[in-house]
């Protein structure tokens, strides 16, 4: 039986410096993508960061993804919320966007950690090996 896994995708130890460096790189790449989206007129401040957190959580683990999420908040506040490239007081709409991102980031990182655990155990059991089936 073939084991489930990420074929061709290296996995990084969760608390290593490589994981946190990868988190920093992912945030930088997501910021560049988000900058392109903002240049095209999008006003979804955290749209490019949530999928990146999920992928980072699977590859590098939950600590690196949490680091990236915490790094994302001041970056988006500074670079993508008007007035651009300034820290000003948050409007209630901006504060709500940050709160929603925090909630979604926790959920996405938790889901990525669960997926990482399932992948490391070799995947889900096939239907024939379920504990609910009775072979008598």
What's the pTM value of the predicted model, to 2 decimals? 0.82
Taking the C-alpha atoms of 121, 107, 76 and 95 in order, what is their torsion angle to the nearest 10 degrees? -170
For the segment 33-45, what is each residue's pLDDT rounded down to a tens digit? 999 998 998 888 9
Closest C-alpha among 34, 63, 61, 52 to residue 104: 52
Q: How far apart are CA 81 and CA 44, in angstroms?
A: 10
For the segment 106-128, what is each residue's pLDDT rounded down to a tens digit? 999 999 999 998 888 877 766 66
Q: How far apart are CA 72 and CA 16, in angstroms?
A: 20
Quick one: pLDDT at residue 35? 94
Residue 72: partners with Cβ closer than 8 Å, 6 or more residues away: 27, 30, 46, 49, 53, 101, 105
Structure tokens at 68: 């990236």
């Amino acid at each position: 039986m073939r084991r489930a896994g990420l074929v061709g995708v290296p996995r990084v130890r969760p608390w290593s410096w490589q994981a946190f460096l990868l988190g920093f790189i992912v945030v930088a790449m997501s910021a560049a993508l988000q900058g392109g989206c903002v240049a095209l007129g999008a006003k979804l401040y955290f749209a490019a960061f949530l999928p990146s957190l999920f992928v980072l959580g699977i590859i590098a683990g939950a600590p690196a993804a949490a680091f990236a999420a915490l790094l994302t908040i001041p970056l988006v506040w500074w670079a993508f919320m008007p007035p651009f490239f300034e820290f000003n007081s948050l409007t209630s709409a901006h504060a709500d966007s940050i709160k929603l991102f925090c909630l979604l980031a926790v959920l996405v990182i938790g889901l990525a950690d669960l997926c990482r655990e399932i992948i490391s155990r070799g995947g889900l059991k096939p239907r024939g090996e379920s504990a609910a089936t009775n072979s008598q």
